[in-house]
A and B are shown apart, each in its own frame.
Chain A
Amino acid sequence: MSATAIDYVRRRPVEQLTTFLIDGHLFGIDVLKIEEVTGKQKVYEVPRSPSFIRGLVNLRGQIVTALGLRELFQKDSSRREDQMSVVCKLDGNLVALVVDSIGDVVEIERSLFESPPDTIPAEVRRFIKGIYKMNGQLMSVIDLAAIEKEFSPNTDPATTRIN
């Protein structure tokens, strides 16, 4: 998208988010941050890497790191194969966020944005910017910058579970 287009979208009173499910919970990411959405990918494991790094994926010749959001949010990771990936750019490299399933793209008023409630567990709240209430469901907005920080090598060992 061109700079002016992005600018235009940003100034609109509504926000567009791509939604997806992780362990039954709804999450969303700003559409502008998403490069593409893909289906099941063959993931090649990287031994000795932290658990939330599922491995590497060959995306049309590009090597993309697959980041398991389930693992990142410390939910039960029983590794179901039928998972989707939301590909974003993180720290200059492409990253595929592995999610359970993809939902719709929703448009929602920015005025409805709220800060994350305490009911959301701490492991998840770290990566959430805020929430939107949608039809009785809570949609948590992912904070990509927070995830990006995880990729810095000097992460606090207490919060990363290593294989």
Chain B
Amino acid sequence: MSFSGEELDEFKAESLELLENAEKQLLSIDSGGDFRAAFDATFRCFHNLKGAAGMMDLENLQVHTHKLEELLMSFKEATSMPKPYVTLFLRGIDASRILIDGGVVDFSYDVEGDGAASTKPPATRDTQVPKAPAIRTPELSAEAIDEFLSECEEIVERVSANLQAMEAGGETGLAVKSRTDDIYRDIHSMKGSAFLYAYKKLGDLTHAMESSLEKIRHETHLPSKELLNALFRSLEIIDQYIQLVRSKTDRSTLDLLIPNMENVLNICAVNLPLNFSGTGSIAKPPVSAPIALQAPMTPQLATTSSMRDAELYETTKMSDENFSLPSTKDIHQPIVNKESEGATSVRVPISLLDNLMTLMGEMVLVRNQVIQFANKSDDLEFSSMSKRLNVVTSEIHEEMMKTRMQPIGNVLTKFNRVVRDLSQDLGKQINLHLHGTETELDKSLLEAIKDPLTHIVRNSCDHGIETPEARRKSGKTEVGNITIRAYHEGGQVIIEIQDDGKGLHRDAILQKALEKGLITQAEVPTLTEKQVFNLIFEAGFSTAAKITNVSGRGVGMDVVRTNIERIGGTVELASAAGSGTKTKIKIPLTLAIIPALIVNSGNGTYAIPQVRLEELVRVEQSSATHRVEIVHGVPVFRLRGNILPLVDLNAVLTRENRTDYRDGTLNIAVLNADQFSFGLIIDRIQDTADIVVKPLNRLIKSLQIYSGATVLGDGAVALILDIPGIAKVARLETAAARAIETSEDLAEKAKASSEVQDYLIVRLNSPTKHGIVLGFVHRLEEFRRSEIEYSGRLPVVRYRDVILPLISANEHLGYPPGDSSSTFVSVVVIKKKDALYGLMVDEIMDTLSTAADLDSKINAHSGIFGCLNTPQELIVVIDPFDVIERQYPNSKQQELYPAPSLASGPEAQPVDGQFPKIPATILLAEDTAFFRKAIKAVLEKTGYKVVCANDGQEAMDLLADPRNTFDLIVSDIEMPRLNGFQLAEAIRKHHTHGKLPMLAVSSRADIHSMEAGLKAGYDRYLEKLKPTILLSAVSELITKARKAA
């Protein structure tokens, strides 16, 4: 019978699916999953495949799967499967795949022995099925057979004894059940071994015996005399069989008898009396032997038995013939046919989906045009229609995307097999952990990353994870781990592959790169760690001493990177030498339609993919502090303390340099170019839009700065910018690195010599300028004087949802009241604890960054920290918290004490207003220069030694340095890199420093922050900046710690 190509294709597709499922189930069994469910599923797969193979006349495959099925049967009652068997079945699946393709397989069903199955690749790919099945029977040693036979004899003895006991009767139901179970188990294991050693007939007989006991086991029926007789007879036959095998005589006569026996057993089984009494004793045989349906106790068995009745009716009639019951009739036919799951899905050729996607893209374009037109049109009806069109199109688009989305688990779970096989081949122990397998990805992207991922995983197994001995020596667990994590983030799919192997060694890589001529000796010191790791991606690189068969078939990481970049993704490596490597792959969610920012430059319109866009910044060059600066010839911008190299889009496009950064307003798009961020200066920002990505011809693509083109709603063509390309073309990588280094140098120098602090400069009714530390300033506002109302005698104003209490700075600093004729009042809004307060000033002038020192001796008035001695003038620095507290004493901080309330010992009490000089070293972590200097001054005046850190990370580094010893840590909360909470937690976890007393000093002293602070591990939490309270707390904590020590 010949089959059409389509039928064959469908058969192949379905078969491969079955095999895949079987593989998955076996791996689940291997790692200890639900055995029952997995077993049933695997069996079904083999069984169905066998049936399909039979239908397609693929005899080889049919016989092979039949064998697998039989072997599997021996585990029917098991709760687990030993590894060699799992491997056997996995190999069997591999062999099946070859057979499906029409190849030839030389498969050994031998579990022990030296055997990887020798799957000979066929010389010619023959689509016709070869005549003779090339399946070998296993070669067994004489001892193995002998052992098997002895075991059988033992079993026969045992079962015989049990049957005799049952026959004698007089036992309770429970005892009978236990006997039946014993008999069943024995026969079952004999059956398994019989099939395993290819004594088919024996296996068939034992199978029939087993089946006949089913109903009795389930206690729905009672054993009958006929059955027991049949069983005894069977045991006799088995005995004879064994003798014949032993003496190597011909078994053919016996072979003829066996089918008969099976029939008898089956008939007896059918005619078992029902178990009404539950006693389990042997009941009288029924009157006749009607093969009629008996009232079922459980529907499950009824169906089974009715099916079998029908068959057996047939077989009994043919009892004269040499009829062997196919042992594949499984008793446990699943009643709920799970195969019907397929009805809920439909197979669709991928080309159809691709076409739909393209058409979808066109529709989106037209939809955009219609929307634009509708916006301009006055026609209401058209407008509402176009809105509906918009909604429907968006929905269709979303659903379309879903059709192509598949969970990444489809690809990732295959790695279970890969890792398992590899770890066996390499003699290593490796566990694979998968997270986020439900993360969805476009089907074409899934295809594209399969190979790169496989390569990376194999690399981890081969070069990453060490052998168990090596791991033991370096103090690691013998079992290595590879974790694959997939998740969505910012319009991309991130896949991280992390292993805890030996990691990447910078020197080894550099060495190899030098050897291969990828870099020169001179370049070595200039390379950052990331750049060194990226050398691995260069073509022609391989650090393995020899290219192993496993991972280095000349297919290197360069191909991996190319493949990933081809689909618009990126890949990067991170590693800690000795502890592992992490590979991070980012791929766009979809290629076709992306959200983008439309911008103008010169006369052209361009699109920036939104996934690359981090933020938009508007810079006024006239501003003193926030403006574009030139560092080493590269224009940069300080964005929240970080140096951002800038690229002028016009300059890139026209290739003329823009030199003028003096005036005007600049739009900067902060973009992500994978390794770093940079700012793109653009003329005008137009809009955001969903655009359809159209490919460019090769020549334009080779310019690097464009990744595609699109048609906008108004019909204009916009080029889509390739962000990494632009960065490369602007030669940003080296420039950025240089600029960042230079700025870090500058920062270093600034730290070494003096420290810059930002102040808000305001004018009060005094000839001297006043300043407020910028960190205190929450917002700057302007209110109409008419809006000011009075609560009692205190002025307030309604501000957003709250009432803002106002305080006159002039009044509190002892100056004459300012000009009250102006319509507007300038207010500096300050946050203290949880509340907002408005400090009224005459005028808000500017901000000032200065490194000038604060002179706190000239402290004539409360509410003032001191004077700043800047080169231009003197500036009085206001203490806003103090001013606020004067008017609102309730705003004073309520101190929170940790649970064991304490009364400070006599040592800590101030004596004559002075605090006792306890020699101690304090670590101060504070990022704001002003407070750092102020607190340091206060502490040093009292006689403590103070070491300063600019942020939490620096504090940790100082702590880690064994040369330093500290008695106390005073820390701010809001700090970059590591904040106060993180610092406290980290220190508390540390074994050496875990008990250090810690004091938090923060401008945020609301109840939540305080509680959080204490929870993080601080002993006390104070508000800035109360010298007396601070000193009291410091001495208290130090004394307490010393006493405890």
Contact = CB atoms under 8 A, between A and B. Distances in A.
Interface of A: 42, 44-50, 53, 55-58, 61-63, 65, 90-91, 93, 95, 150-153, 155
A153 B706 contact: no
Given A56-B709, A63-B694, A151 B703 contact: no
A151 B362 CA distance: 26
A155 B699 CA distance: 9
A65 B697 contact: yes
A48 B718 CA distance: 15
Given A57-B717, A61-B362, A45 B698 contact: no
Given A63-B709, A63-B717, A46 B700 contact: yes
B698 A46 contact: no
B716 A44 contact: yes
Interface size bracket, B side: 20 to 34
A91 B698 contact: yes
Given A61-B711, A153-B699, A45 B603 contact: yes
10 contacts: A44-B604, A44-B718, A46-B706, A47-B604, A49-B703, A50-B699, A58-B715, A151-B698, A153-B699, A155-B699
Interface string B335-366: 00000000000000000000000000010011
B727 to A, nearest CB: 15
Most buried by A among B365, B654, B655, B699: B699
Interface string B569-612: 00000000000000000000000000000000011110000000
Contacts, number: 68
Contact of B705 (A42, A44, A48, A93): A48
Contacts of B362: 61
Contacts of B602: 47
Interface string B511-522: 000000000000
Contacts of A46: 700, 703, 706, 719
B702 interface: yes
Given A56-B719, A61-B362, A48 B653 contact: yes
Contacts of A47: 602, 604, 653-654
Contacts of B365: 61
A54 to B, nearest CB: 12
Given A44-B604, A58-B716, A49 B700 contact: yes
B698 A152 contact: yes
B1016 to A, nearest CB: 54
Interface of B: 362, 365-366, 602-605, 652-655, 694-703, 705-706, 709-711, 715-719
B699 A152 contact: yes
A91 to B, nearest CB: 7
Nearest to A50: B699
A110 to B, nearest CB: 32
Given A48-B653, A58-B711, A65 B700 contact: yes
Nearest to B366: A61
A62 B703 CA distance: 21
A150 B698 CA distance: 10
Contacts of A58: 711, 715-717
Contacts of A153: 698-699, 701-702
A35 B711 CA distance: 21
Most buried by B among A42, A56, A57: A56
A153 to B, nearest CB: 3
A45 B697 contact: no
A45 B706 CA distance: 13
Contact of B604 (A45, A50, A57, A150): A45
Could you say which of B365, B605, B697, B698 has the most chain A C-beta atoms within 10 Å of its C-beta? B697
Given A49-B700, A56-B717, A153-B699, 20 more contacts: A44-B716, A44-B719, A47-B653, A48-B652, A48-B653, A48-B703, A49-B703, A56-B719, A57-B717, A58-B717, A61-B365, A63-B711, A65-B697, A91-B697, A91-B698, A151-B697, A151-B698, A151-B699, A152-B698, A153-B702
Contacts of A152: 698-699
Name the residue among B654, B706, B716, B717 with the largest chain A CB count within 10 angstroms: B717
A150 B702 CA distance: 13
A18 B952 CA distance: 76
A160 to B, nearest CB: 9
B717 to A, nearest CB: 4
Nearest to A55: B717
B699 A53 contact: yes
* Leading 3 A-B pairs by shortest Cβ distance: A153-B702, A47-B653, A44-B717
A156 to B, nearest CB: 13
A12 to B, nearest CB: 33
A153 B716 CA distance: 26
Nearest to A155: B699
A85 B181 CA distance: 89
A45 B700 CA distance: 11
Contacts of A57: 717
A10 B715 CA distance: 39
A47 to B, nearest CB: 4
A163 to B, nearest CB: 8
Nearest to A57: B717
Nearest to B705: A48
A95 B699 CA distance: 12
A48 B717 contact: no
Contacts of B604: 44-45, 47
B699 A49 contact: yes
Nearest to A61: B365
Contacts of B718: 44
Contacts of A90: 697
B697 A93 contact: yes
Nearest to B692: A61
A91 B695 CA distance: 13
A71 B710 CA distance: 25
Contacts of A62: 694
